[in-house]
Structure 1
């Protein structure tokens, strides 16, 4: 999972942080970038900082709670460190990767390397103080403690929001569950995420419970490229509305648990009038959706992508 957040410009000229998180171990990399960086520049950063260490990873989904907690953490730290925030990115990344994650029952560092890490907080030993300088050691410990406080505040706040909106669900090994997937309309390169309601594929058998809220599923052959460990928030034991189910045999589920929704029929035509122009629109019936979920799209986009409908 990856996403970028904009900030005030640092002394080095960067104004955004590119966050890349491994779904299984929860380990993260925070990469300072410019929002105006071209694709080839971002590709160089990706190879240098990610591929160099981990090879070419598969993209995958990530929980909204994790994203929001990381956004909160980084925004709080940027406020604390002002224009020098980029200088402290390594310490922020280190503090996050060495904090306990309840979903995996350990710190991301231990999940990734199989052992605990000696943190900067141990630099108070006499030998380290003499070798690295007492002032440097004291400042580093002070900053790491501040970052840890900000991380706990961000996690506590997001956990509070999450608990208010979600009820606790628990499954047993051997239960059959459905997995939530989202669809991409695919009519525009700027419309990556569909506004349509989610669908569910399955059922799949639970093989193992990992931690308090993560489950290992036995997926079908059609979903062989999808990572088979899921957070409980993406699972459903049963669905009363059969219209929300979709078969993995009917659609191609991608690694990020999305599939491309195809239009089936044009239901109506209209023109959206703006101040200086008029935009022809069409009401589209999607293949795996009910008539109530039909959406209005630009006629030019639909004609270009699906000329057979006309």
Structure 2
């Protein structure tokens, strides 16, 4: 099971856990210790690795820290493009948003009104209203 920060020298897997049951075609439920009670115990097979008994490659559980508020929020960094589309009888303004953890190819189109209300710092004060 993969946990923690990804880095060149960081541990990729933590101690082995017992598989309780197969939940779907590619997911398994693990028996997790009480310290990891906030983690949902069902994992995709790609996140698991067969334990062959080499304890030197396994990180001790003490080095794994799981916060109670496990959530991830992507923060927009810049708006490189603006566009206005005509839909029958109304105009819809949208912006292309580049998120902090995505590449340029991963930028998404969002409604300009929603982005301007949530992140006004991304829009200069002299821009045209949406």
In the superposition, the TM-score normalised over structure 1's length comes to: 0.26
Corresponding residue of 1:177: 2
Query: How far apart, in 1, do the equivalents of 2:48 and 2:119 lie?
Result: 33
Counterpart CA distance in 1 for 2:38 and 2:46 is 14
Is the counterpart of residue 209 in structure 1 residue 42 in structure 2?
no
- Gaps in structure 1 of 5+ consecutive residues: 1-175, 180-201, 238-247
Alignment of 1:113-192 (within 5 A): 176-177=1-2
Aligned to 2:18, what secondary structure does the other structure show?
Answer: strand
Equivalent of residue 43 in structure 2, options 219, 222, 231: 231
Structure 2's unaligned 5+ residue stretches are 5-10, 22-27, 50-64, 124-130
Query: For 1:148-201, what per-residue CA distance to the aligned partner results, in whole angstroms no more than 9, with x for missing partners?
Result: xxxxxxxxxxxxxxxxxxxxxxxxxxxx5259xxxxxxxxxxxxxxxxxxxxxx
The SS at the match of 1:297 is strand
Greater per-residue strand proportion: 2
Counterparts of 1:214 and 1:282, CA distance in 2: 41
The answer to which structure, 1 or 2, has the higher relative contact order (CA under 8 A, 6+ apart) is: 2
The answer to whether the Cα contact below 8 Å between 1:214 and 1:232 also exists between their aligned partners in 2 is: no
Q: Which residue of 2 aligns with 1:125?
A: none
Residues 204 and 308 (structure 1 numbering): CA distance in 2 closer, same or farther, change over 3 Å?
farther
| Inter-partner Cα distance in structure 2 for 1:288 and 1:295 | 13
- 1:81-96 matches, cutoff 5 A: none
**Structure possessing the higher radius of gyration over alpha carbons:** 1
Other-structure match for 1:286: 99
Q: CA deviation at 1:235?
A: 2.1
Q: Secondary structure at the residue paired with 1:308?
A: helix
Give the aligned CA root-mean-square deviation in angstroms: 3.3
- Is 1:274 aligned to 2:91, yes or no? no
Q: Deviations over 1:212-264 (max 9, x none)?
A: 4322457xx9xx77325233347255xxxxxxxxxx99xx633xxxx222111
More helix by share: 1
Which residue of structure 2 aligns with residue 301 of structure 1?
114
- The secondary structure found in structure 2 opposite 1:300 is helix
Alignment of 1:253 with 2:66, yes or no, is: no
Q: 1:280 to 1:228 in 2, by over 3 A?
A: closer
Tell me: CA distance 1:307–1:300, structure 2 relative to 1, closer, same or farther (3 Å): same
Q: TM-score, with normalisation over the residues of structure 2?
A: 0.56
* Separation in 1, partners of 2:37, 2:113: 34
